[in-house]
Amino acid sequence: MRVRRIFTPSYHPRRWGRLLAGAIGAGTVVGLAVALPSDIFGSSARGEEVRAANADVRVVDGETLALGGQVVRLAGVRAPSRGQVCHDVAGRDYDCGAAAAAALARLIAGRDVQCRIQTRDGVGRPLALCRAGGADLNASLVADGFVLAGAGAAALQSLEAMARDSRRGLWATASDVEQMRRGF
């Protein structure tokens, strides 16, 4: 004999479980967005100045400095990554990323560093204009041909043009730079 149901449940239990799980997930995301600090990658605000004595300065790569506990990228420049092979005028291979880092280390050597935060990059790291002993690190690296000027840095692009015309640093062989620009 077949059981005949007169009343059927008005809801489907599996559907409600999925809706409940989605609501919990959305609530968790909103809760984390409110609870987490917006400056999770550092506490430096725009326009804030970060200073470090020479003993507390470490060169991370050709465009990044660690000033004590604060990591700062140089604004408006793009350095080649370590291990990237370039060619000098004689055609010999060298690590142009390490050369950019060494040039930055030479500019800092024995000097305290001051950086003024300009903005943040896409992942929240501070981008800054930095000075050491009165020298503008961002402009000096571009003028010496060790880093490339970023797309929005008009003042640095004229320095890059002079370095390119003089065939300094990365500009010793134009093919290396064009390859790097495609990588940026």
**pLDDT per residue as tens digits for the range 70-96:** 999 999 999 998 888 887 778 888 888
Which pLDDT belongs to residue 22? 66
CB 85 within 8 A of CB 98: no
Of the pLDDT bands very low, low, confident and very high (cuts 50, 70, 90), residue 41 is very low
Do β-strands 135-136 and 126-132 pair in parallel, antiparallel, or remain unpaired?
Answer: antiparallel
Position 40 pLDDT exceeds 50: no
Report which of 153, 152, 148, 155 is spatially closest to residue 171, judged by C-alpha positions: 148
Its pTM stands at: 0.70
Which pLDDT belongs to residue 15? 59
In sign, the C-alpha dihedral spanning 136, 118, 60, 50 is positive
**pLDDT per residue as tens digits for the range 128-178:** 999 998 899 999 999 999 999 987 778 899 899 998 888 888 887 765 565
Which pLDDT belongs to residue 73? 94
Task: Please give the structure tokens belonging to residue 99.
Answer: 């050369």
Dihedrals φ, ψ of 22, to 5°? -65, -40
Architecture of domain 49-183: Beta Barrel (2.40)
CB 69 within 8 A of CB 125: no
Q: Could you give the dihedral angle defined by the CA atoms of residues 162, 165, 169 and 171, in that order, rounded to the nearest 10 degrees?
A: 130
**pLDDT per residue as tens digits for the range 61-74:** 999 999 988 999 99
Query: Residue written as tokens 């326009």?
Result: 47
